[in-house]
Structure 1
Amino acid sequence: MSVENQFPADLFDAMVGFIEQHPQWDQYRLMQSALAGFLFQQGCQDKPVVRHYLDGLFRKPEIAAH
């Protein structure tokens, strides 16, 4: 499934700024984490959603190879 959405400019700018400051994140990881967090906070207890939510909270930054 593909999802297309128009973001308000201020949210899009904030997302771009976050990704620039945190290179271990990309737009897909950020959106997955945000959606899982929203669903979890709304009471969703499906195991895959909870796993994505917890991965977003506790995933360690990937160390770039030099």
Structure 2
Amino acid sequence: MELQASDQPLTGVDPATVSFQAEVPEVLLASMRGFIEQHPNWDQYRLFQAALAGFLVQNGLKNREVTRCYLANLFPAQASFRGR
């Protein structure tokens, strides 16, 4: 997978946010679309953030902010996970 961070700042986007593109197998894309259709409170951004942060946390990354991101995506109503 090739990650490409944009050098151009996006209007209205948190400067700590990085945008990138990734090629994924069609089966993953179809599954993601199906999940989002069944869970309207999720979108592709929230799903990807939760999946990436969850993978990192479950594989031993010890970073409080990544853990907070993971929990904030899983439990959006819990203000204490958002941190700021």
> TM-score band, normalised by the shorter chain?
0.7 to 0.9
- Equivalent of residue 16 in structure 1, options 24, 28, 33: 33
Paired residues for 1:47-62 under 5 Å: 47-60=64-77
Gaps spanning 5+ residues in structure 2: where? 1-17, 78-84
- Equivalent of residue 31 in structure 1, options 48, 63, 66: 48
Report how many aligned residue pairs link the two structures: 60
1:14-46 Cα offsets, whole Å, 9 max, x none, are: 000000000000000000000000000111121
Gaps spanning 5+ residues in structure 1: where? 61-66
Q: Distance in 2 between matches of 1:35 and 1:55?
A: 13
- Please say which structure displays the higher CA radius of gyration: 2
1:6 is the counterpart of 2:48: no
Higher mean alpha-carbon deviation, 14-23 vs 38-47, is at 38-47
Q: TM-score, normalising length from structure 2?
A: 0.65
How far off its partner does 1:56 sit? 3.1
Q: Distance in 2 between matches of 1:2 and 1:59?
A: 21
Q: Percent identity, please.
A: 53
> Per chain length, whose mean CA-contact separation is higher, i.e. which structure has more relative contact order (CA < 8 Å, sep 6+)?
1
Superposition CA RMSD, Å = 1.3
